[in-house]
């Protein structure tokens, strides 16, 4: 007998109690050295390890193992997991090209086994890959072998990921997932535009890098990027979609404030939709997103401790929590 969402939701609601609470964040902020931070996470049962990264790797494995055990349809997580496939492809292709294979950089879970990715690159058999990545993988290979352009290689793969995310959520018929990934892709595009406005790129690169998504004015923004950062921000300030005007205000304050705004926007969407849901996959997805934002918060605190940053400065960088 298969799992039901009724069972899964009951399980994940109980599991949510183990997510970090505001009191946990305050405790983490109170530490002045990383050993105390790691000790607290170990003692809490958050994960196991002697470093923050080891603890988070342990926690990540446990979260995915749990989700696999309770999700009636695990492929609902594919739009999130395919970013791991893209990461692994980049690691493999760059490792093969440089002769420095870094197996330790490969991550999981995946929708494409790493052995399949390796074979595709080593034998140039890109048609063996799933359709969504086969053509972009071949193009990325040509870019890095003939042009030695790692940035364009990454851009081709990242665009394929964004396009596949949007294709996948069409099949799920979830208003939340549609809104979430439209927002995610929109702001990924904006980040590409901002980075590109600071470097020398042409319209060909931008067309390869930017993904079509609802309310993203690709032609206008490419034109603005080519004029420079000020022209881009002026153009973005005209857009009300996805609260873009507000995001630009935060960017003008500081790039880190912009990143925080985007992260908060996405997690608040999850809180409002997934925590209220009483059926379907949204509660499971919300739990996963809650864990992902926790990882980011822990890394921010870790970085602040390592650099002796003022506690209030660290606090200002923290994101909303799902727990």
Residues 248-268: tens digit of each pLDDT: 999 999 999 999 999 999 999
Contact 280, 175 (CB under 8 A): no
Closest CA relative to residue 296, chosen from 270, 319, 323:
319
Closest CA relative to residue 161, chosen from 190, 132, 183:
132
Contact 108, 85 (CB under 8 A): no
Centre a 10 Å sphere on the Cβ of residue 77 and count the other Cβ atoms it contains.
19
Quick one: pLDDT at residue 52? 97
Question: Which one-letter DSSP state was computed for residue 111?
Answer: S
With a cut of 60, say whether residue 1 has pLDDT above it.
no
pLDDT-based confidence at 99, cuts 50/70/90? confident
Question: Which one-letter DSSP state was computed for residue 210?
Answer: P
Residues 192-216: tens digit of each pLDDT: 999 999 998 999 999 999 999 999 9
Residues 36-65: tens digit of each pLDDT: 999 999 999 999 999 999 999 999 999 999
Residues 220-237: tens digit of each pLDDT: 999 999 999 999 999 999
With a cut of 80, say whether residue 323 has pLDDT above it.
no
Architecture of domain 80-162: Up-down Bundle (1.20)
* pTM of the predicted model as reported, rounded to 2 decimal places: 0.95
Omega of the bond leading into 231 within 30 degrees of 0 (cis): no
- CA 103-79-60 angle, 5° bins: 50
Quick one: pLDDT at residue 188? 98
Helix H, strand E, coil C: the string for 20-70 is CCHHHHHHHHCCCCHHHHHHHHHHCCCCCCCCHHHHHHHHHHHHHHHHHHH
Residues 159-177: tens digit of each pLDDT: 999 999 999 999 898 999 9
Q: How far apart are CA 50 and CA 70, in angstroms?
A: 29
* Cα pseudo-dihedral 26, 30, 31, 36, rounded to 10: -50
Quick one: pLDDT at residue 281? 95
Q: Which two tokens stand for residue 159?
A: 């665009």
Contact 82, 111 (CB under 8 A): yes
Q: How far apart are CA 80 and CA 87, in angstroms?
A: 12
Contact 107, 84 (CB under 8 A): yes
Within its chain, how far is the Cα of 118 from the centroid? 23
What's the whole-number average pLDDT of the chain?
95
- Domain(s) labelled CATH 1.20.1690 in the chain stretch across 80-162
With a cut of 70, say whether residue 25 has pLDDT above it.
yes
Centre a 10 Å sphere on the Cβ of residue 255 and count the other Cβ atoms it contains.
12
pLDDT-based confidence at 132, cuts 50/70/90? very high
Quick one: pLDDT at residue 103? 87
Closest CA relative to residue 322, chosen from 17, 11, 2, 38:
17
With a cut of 70, say whether residue 79 has pLDDT above it.
yes
């Amino acid at each position: 007998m298969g799992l039901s969402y009724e069972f899964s939701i009951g399980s994940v609601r109980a599991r949510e109690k183990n997510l970090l609470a505001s009191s946990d964040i305050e405790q983490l902020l109170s530490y002045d050295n990383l050993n105390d931070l790691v000790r607290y996470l170990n003692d809490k049962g958050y994960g196991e390890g002697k470093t923050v990264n080891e603890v988070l790797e342990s926690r990540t494995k446990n979260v995915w193992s749990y989700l696999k055990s309770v999700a009636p349809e695990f492929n609902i997580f594919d739009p999130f997991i395919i970013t791991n496939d893209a990461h692994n492809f980049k690691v493999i292709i760059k490792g093969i090209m440089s002769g420095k294979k870094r197996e330790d950089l490969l991550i999981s879970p995946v929708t494409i086994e790493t052995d399949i990715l390796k074979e595709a690159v080593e034998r140039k058999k890109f048609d063996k890959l799933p359709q969504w990545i086969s053509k972009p993988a071949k193009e990325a290979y040509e870019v890095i072998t003939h042009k030695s352009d790692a940035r364009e290689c990454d851009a081709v793969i990242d665009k394929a990921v964004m396009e596949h995310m949007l294709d996948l959520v069409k099949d799920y018929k979830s208003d939340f997932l549609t809104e979430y990934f439209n927002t995610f892709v929109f702001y990924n595009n904006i980040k590409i535009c901002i980075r590109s406005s600071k470097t020398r790129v042409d319209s060909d690169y931008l067309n390869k890098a930017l993904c079509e998504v609802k309310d993203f004015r690709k032609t206008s923004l490419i034109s603005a990027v080519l004029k420079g950062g000020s022209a881009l921000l002026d153009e973005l300030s005209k857009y009300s979609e996805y609260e873009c005007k507000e995001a630009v205000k935060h960017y003008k304050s500081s790039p880190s404030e912009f990143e925080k705004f985007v992260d908060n926007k996405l997690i608040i969407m999850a809180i409002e939709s997934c925590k209220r849901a009483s059926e379907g996959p949204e509660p499971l997805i919300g739990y996963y997103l809650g864990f992902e934002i926790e990882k980011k918060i822990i890394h921010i605190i870790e970085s602040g401790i390592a650099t002796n940053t003022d506690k209030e400065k660290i606090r200002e960088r923290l994101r909303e929590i799902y727990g």
